[in-house]
Structure 1
């Protein structure tokens, strides 16, 4: 993957694949902690003045921030200066260790791209992290939605008594949970998608807009209110399964 375009008139910074523009410090922390891994990093604007940038790096369960200054003749990072972003990236490849404020060495393993491969047809998907005004750093990170979240009412067929009941479903990471109602605190069940072998439309039921999730011990039959909504659920669930397969 190239971080650069061939258009010389384009600002080089704007072509950097992991430059997140005006992402805030707290949003960067929520993004990297929710969806990144140890060593994930991104570049963003800093509020410390014109030409100020920040490199945010995840180190296990925390995120460290490093000051980068943009100058007419390049970029200043620590005690070093780089004429172009390409030199900046080469530095990361050859000198991957960074000392945090606590003196800990961190490895820059993977840039976090601002464009993420995700389904684009379903509703209520957070491409990165939704930040709401008024949240503090302490309550922002744990409650930040993850990539590819979805929620909504679906009608589910019972496992033993084959009746249909409306349940509130939430999808977060690789967990599909369903609740008695939207306001319920405890889920009736949590389904681990890592054990799911297939998600597909189902036409065996008398109802319409149905789909099923196939597990070794059981097949879950679910119905949406509309065909579009069923299609959205199927697309995001299939995308989740594809991400699980890539990680195996």
Structure 2
């Protein structure tokens, strides 16, 4: 239903709406700017406009991002394990890498300051979004354990909760 609502309001495919997660990438990003990105299949370097918002890193061909813009790609930062400098790996100034369990992506910023700001912004987003996923899992496990421990014969028995 949400996917069909997305299509009716914004157009496009369900795959795009699932990747974008309903994020209004065109409005008030946490960070936006130019980076040079290495292609996924053909390892050429292309300059792209990046937008970091609500745990997703989007990229576009140009900086004029509107509601009608279609991202060239998106990385959910919760799937990322590390973001760190990569000048020594690529032999290029201002390079950094973003790694998931299955791949490492490389980027080049325009200055040392921008590289550090991107690393810090993406790093904060990784921590924020991976923590929220972990917290949700802990709540689910605690709820399941509490429900399993609660006696079914007594109607006024209350589940016990550990306090952290």
Please, what TM-score do these two structures have when normalized by structure 2? 0.59
Q: Does 1:221 align with 2:109?
A: no
Deviation at 1:179, TM superposition (A): 0.6
More strand by share: 1
Number of equivalent positions: 106
Alpha-carbon distance in 2 for matches of 1:174, 1:246: 11
**Aligned pair partner of 1:160 in 41, 50, 62:** 41
List aligned pairs for 1:13-162, cutoff 5 A. Answer: 145=28, 149-162=30-43
Deviation at 1:174, TM superposition (A): 0.2
Which 5+ residue runs of structure 2 have no aligned equivalent?
1-23, 135-164
Q: Does 1:169 align with 2:53?
A: no
1:232 counterpart residue number: 117
Deviation at 1:211, TM superposition (A): 0.5
Deviation at 1:206, TM superposition (A): 2.8
1:195 counterpart residue number: 79
Q: Which secondary structure state, in structure 2, belongs to the residue aligned with residue 177 of structure 1?
A: strand
Over alpha carbons, which structure has the higher Rg?
1
By relative contact order (CA 8 Å, sep 6+), the higher-ranking structure is 2
Alpha-carbon distance in 2 for matches of 1:142, 1:192: 13
Q: Which secondary structure state, in structure 2, belongs to the residue aligned with residue 194 of structure 1?
A: helix
Q: Does 1:242 align with 2:123?
A: no
- Residue 142 and residue 167 in structure 1: after superposition, are their counterparts in 2 closer, same or farther (change >3 A)? closer
Which 5+ residue runs of structure 1 have no aligned equivalent?
1-140
Contact 2:25–2:53 (CA under 8 A) maintained in structure 1: no
2:155 counterpart residue number: none
Please, what TM-score do these two structures have when normalized by structure 1? 0.40
Provide, for residues 83-140 of structure 1, a one-character-per-residue CA deviation record: whole Å limited to 9, x for no partner.
xxxxxxxxxxxxxxxxxxxxxxxxxxxxxxxxxxxxxxxxxxxxxxxxxxxxxxxxxx
2:64 counterpart residue number: 183
Deviation at 1:145, TM superposition (A): 2.8
